[in-house]
Amino acid sequence: MQHQRHTPTRLLLAVAAAAAATGQATAQTSMPMAAAMADAAPAASAVSPIALVDALNGVFGKHSARSSHAKGVCMAGHFEAAPAASAITSAKMFQVGQRTPLIGRFSVGGGNPKAPDNAKSVRGIAVRAGEGADRMEWIFISAPHFFAQTPAQFLEFMKVRAPDPTTGKMNPDAVAAFGKANPATTRQATYLASQPVPASFATVPYWSTSAFIATNAAGKTQALRWRFEPVAGRLGLSDDEAKAKGADFLRAELSERLNKGAVVFSVMAQLAQPQDQLLDPTDPWPSDRVEVTMGRLVIDRATDQACDRETFIPTVLPTGIAASADPTLAARASSYAVSLSRR
Ligand code: HEM
């Protein structure tokens, strides 16, 4: 696995690769599935990526780290395909016996590079496995809900949280009114408030929230959502334990854990029924949908911070997996590239 520094050319290539990858969707979704898959190619976002990153910077300030999920730890390992995966997708890394090296990054949500590890905020994971047309990038969060249905709603969600220039503080009444007018944007916060602070990056599940479209070797398509389920179990801290841990424990905890053995996640695909919506990442499908174990993520080492020169883009997908038409998915490649250019 190569760690390349992003030059402007490489940045353009990354965006072009994302566009090419998302373009696969039209070709790969001509087979029957949900009616919504007919328009599976992500629409170009009407909201400018610069406005999206400006809005993040407006809330979290400008600094040299990522505009979102600013605090994180780089890691590496490999992905092992499970036997059932090749029936779902023809992508190389999911074929029987495949073992694919990966690099990745765990993160704490928000654009604050000093975000506390002991808050009930979202955790993130980014993974890059495979090369060229076989490359897969997974960028997930530790909640089954994203906080915005569209890029326009993301923009408004951030803008209403920007500090008032006169007081220097966020206006809680305006935030509450926005939540009332846009109830889907409150689902993530409600979920996170119901969960303990994760004891480790390795003991919390991560969801794609967005849907993807898999195509198998016979050309059959299947809409799915991803989840990484921690093999160590879902383990959280009590409020007192979280307080005692302090604001910076996740990096050291991960190193100590990796000294004892690999961190493993089961890679699960939740399969959509034809009636399931594919556009709204705030709204999970019913929990009775069939889940297939697609493989195992095996993370065996924390690395230097080389991944801070990378950007992981969720529409960089291998042949055999395509993006759905979820508009937040379409907005990510360009806004991530803008964020990279500001680091
Ligand atoms: C309109 C929708 C979204 C916008 C505008 C947005 C914006 C951003 C930006 C600007 C970054 C920094 C990228 C970089 O500098 O490399 C970022 C990082 C990240 N985002 Fe998003 N995001 C969106 C949706 C999502 C969703 C749906 C998820 C997961 C379910 C997600 C998870 C993450 C994670 C985990 C990172 C850190 C990636 C890493 O470690 O490199 N984002 N986001």
Ligand 1 contact, 128 CB (< 6 A)? no
CA–CA gap between residue 157 and residue 56 (Å, rounded): 10
For CA atoms 258, 266, 298, 196, give the dihedral sign: negative
Ligand 1 contact, 150 CB (< 6 A)? no
Ligand 1 contact, 124 CB (< 6 A)? yes
Please give the pLDDT value at position 30.
27
How many A from CA of 217 to the centre of ligand 1? 31
CA–CA gap between residue 66 and residue 342 (Å, rounded): 8
Q: Please, are residues 340 and 70 in contact by the beta-carbon 8 Å criterion?
A: no
- Provide the residue ranges of all domains of the chain, joining segments of one domain with +: 8-341
Give 220-263 pLDDT, tens digit per residue.
999 999 999 999 999 999 999 999 999 999 999 999 999 999 99
For ligand 1, atom 39, the nearest C-alpha belongs to 126
Whether domain 8-341 has CATH 3.40.50.360: the reply is no
How many A from CA of 260 to the centre of ligand 1? 30
If DSSP states are collapsed to H, E and C, what string results for 14-83? Answer: HHHHHHHHHHHHHHHCCCCCCHHHHHCCCCCCCCCHHHHHHHHHHHHCCCCCCCCCCEEEEEEEEEEECH
Average of per-residue pLDDT values in the chain:
89
Statement: residue 13 has pLDDT above 70: no
User: What 3-state class would DSSP assign to 237?
Assistant: strand
Least confident residue range of 23-27, 88-92, 128-132, 152-156:
23-27
Please give the pLDDT value at position 37.
41
Give 292-322 pLDDT, tens digit per residue.
999 999 999 998 888 999 999 999 999 999 9
Statement: residue 79 has pLDDT above 90: yes
Ligand 1 contact, 281 CB (< 6 A)? yes
Statement: residue 91 has pLDDT above 90: yes
Give 21-44 pLDDT, tens digit per residue.
333 332 222 223 333 343 344 445
